[in-house]
Amino acid sequence: MRVLRRGDAGPAVAEVRATLAGLGLLPADPSAPAAEAAVYDDAVAHAVSTFQQQRGLIADGLVGPDTFRALKDATYQLGARPLAYLVSSPISGDDVLTLQDRLLEMGYDAGRANGVFGGQTEAALRNFQRDYGLTVDGICGAETVRALRQLSPRARGGSPVLLREQELVRKAGPRLRGKRIVIDPGHGGTDRGVSVAGLEEAELMWDLARRLEGRMAATGMQALLSRGRDQCPTEGDRAHFANEVGGDLFLSLHTDANRSPLAQGVASFHFGSAAGSTSTIGETLAGFIQRELVVRTGLRDCRAHRKTWDTLRLTRCPAVRVEIGYLSNQDDHRRLSDPAFRDVVAEGIVVAVKRLYLLGENDQPTGTFTFADVLRHELAKAE
Ligand SMILES: [Zn+2]
């Protein structure tokens, strides 16, 4: 493009004048002369210098390619147009910058806030959409902008995502009745999972899922299994199922194996990236499950961890995956082969879910809250 300077006139100057007026740097011209008659006068040169200073550009009062692009970028306010990742010609503008700032404020790693909608901005946006229960399409459209506006006043006070997830759980109330839990027994069908000395993960987790389902149903929860006994849906299909049925929680059940026979214990996983974005309720529930199972079963504590596996990433509700014991370890193998042990595990998980909805009220020491307590609590509340 030709560099615009003092003395120039014409449509390009008219566009610059209009942009500067829109930014409040030049008084709007009520007489609005024809575009051909628009003049680059001293007032325009002064406004351009001011704009350049604000943007960290060389303040020479001339409109070259950099200043022209910056002026164009400045005209976009968040919500004025849909934003998406266009690989061949990335969108840039102040609306993108605002989006990136908001995402970073909330703890989503949108990369450097540079006003250009790239792959990392899209990934951060998807995480936000997922956590906020929006359509996860990576496009910043009307729905997402509305959600960002609602969150902005709180954004300074802490993590709005954390507040929102806790708010949903608090609103859901302490009762288990009516809660919809998707139980996901790992593997299945031709995929048997880990298999050691006659014990198969797919069958064990199916059995555990049924025990869990029975207890959940007894407390009035709606428990749904993500697969049939002889089916093995993909991780994505399992997450999709949870979204379709509108699950409140997603619990994936697995058991592990290791080359070392010494490896043993229970570990829980919730959605979260190394960069810091994490499902708060997922993390809380994983912590409760971990504590209850360790205290009740004597399994070694292999702690809770953040992961971005598909079942954790693609589910809209808080999701936890538990790896219960190592079939390759003698102690764990013996424990898991005992149906009574699997009952204890099922009870521990139900109690952990109950604790989540109690949000710290009626707190009893870990491991002392029994299934009978949970039932009593449900019946008392029902009256
Ligand atoms: Zn598994």
Residue 370 is predicted with a pLDDT of 86
Structure tokens given for 30:
């009520």
Q: How far apart are CA 62 and CA 45, in angstroms?
A: 7
Residue 288 is predicted with a pLDDT of 93
CA of 6 to the centre of ligand 1 (A): 70
Per-residue pLDDT band for 150 (boundaries 50, 70, 90) equals confident
CA of 255 to the centre of ligand 1 (A): 6
- CA torsion through residues 246, 347, 310, 308, sign: positive
Residue 306 is predicted with a pLDDT of 84
Per-residue pLDDT band for 153 (boundaries 50, 70, 90) equals very low
Write out pLDDT tens, residues 104-145.
777 788 876 778 899 999 999 999 998 888 899 999 999 999
CA of 317 to the centre of ligand 1 (A): 21
64 Cβ contact partners less than 8 Å away, ≥ 6 residues apart: 1, 3
**Strands, sheet with 222-225, edge to edge from the N-terminal-most edge strand:** 222-225, 180-185, 249-256, 319-326, 266-271, 301-307
For 57-200, list the strands marked E by DSSP.
180-185, 195-196, 199-200
Do 27 and 21 touch, CB atoms closer than 8 A? yes
Partnered with residue 225 across adjacent β-strands are 183
CA of 186 to the centre of ligand 1 (A): 5
Instruction: Examine the pLDDT at 327 and tell me if it is beyond 50.
Output: yes
Residue 33 is predicted with a pLDDT of 67
CA of 254 to the centre of ligand 1 (A): 4
Instruction: Please compute, for residue 270, the number of CA atoms within 13 A of its CA located in the half-sphere on the CB side.
Output: 22
Best-predicted range by mean pLDDT (34-48, 97-111, 362-376): 34-48
Instruction: Examine the pLDDT at 51 and tell me if it is beyond 50.
Output: yes
Per-residue pLDDT band for 163 (boundaries 50, 70, 90) equals low
- Among the residue ranges 29-38, 84-93, 219-228, the one predicted with the least confidence is 29-38
Q: Average pLDDT in the 227-248 region? A: 92
Per-residue pLDDT band for 341 (boundaries 50, 70, 90) equals very high
Per-residue pLDDT band for 314 (boundaries 50, 70, 90) equals confident
CA of 122 to the centre of ligand 1 (A): 30
CA of 359 to the centre of ligand 1 (A): 30
CA of 15 to the centre of ligand 1 (A): 61
Q: Average pLDDT in the 50-76 region? A: 87
Interstrand relation of 222-225 and 180-185 (parallel, antiparallel or unpaired): parallel
Q: Across the chain, what does the average pLDDT equal? A: 87
CA of 325 to the centre of ligand 1 (A): 11
Write out pLDDT tens, residues 90-109.
898 889 988 988 887 777 88
Residue 65 is predicted with a pLDDT of 87
Of all residues in the chain, the percent with pLDDT exceeding 70 is 91
Residue 155 is predicted with a pLDDT of 39
CA of 131 to the centre of ligand 1 (A): 25
Instruction: Examine the pLDDT at 279 and tell me if it is beyond 80.
Output: no
Residue 362 is predicted with a pLDDT of 61
230 Cβ contact partners less than 8 Å away, ≥ 6 residues apart: 188, 189
Instruction: Examine the pLDDT at 360 and tell me if it is beyond 80.
Output: no
Instruction: Examine the pLDDT at 238 and tell me if it is beyond 80.
Output: yes
DSSP string, 218-286: HTT-EEEESS-TT----HHHHHHHHHHTT-SEEEEEEEE--SSTT---EEEEEEB-TTS-B-HHHHHHH
Per-residue pLDDT band for 312 (boundaries 50, 70, 90) equals confident
Residue 49 is predicted with a pLDDT of 93
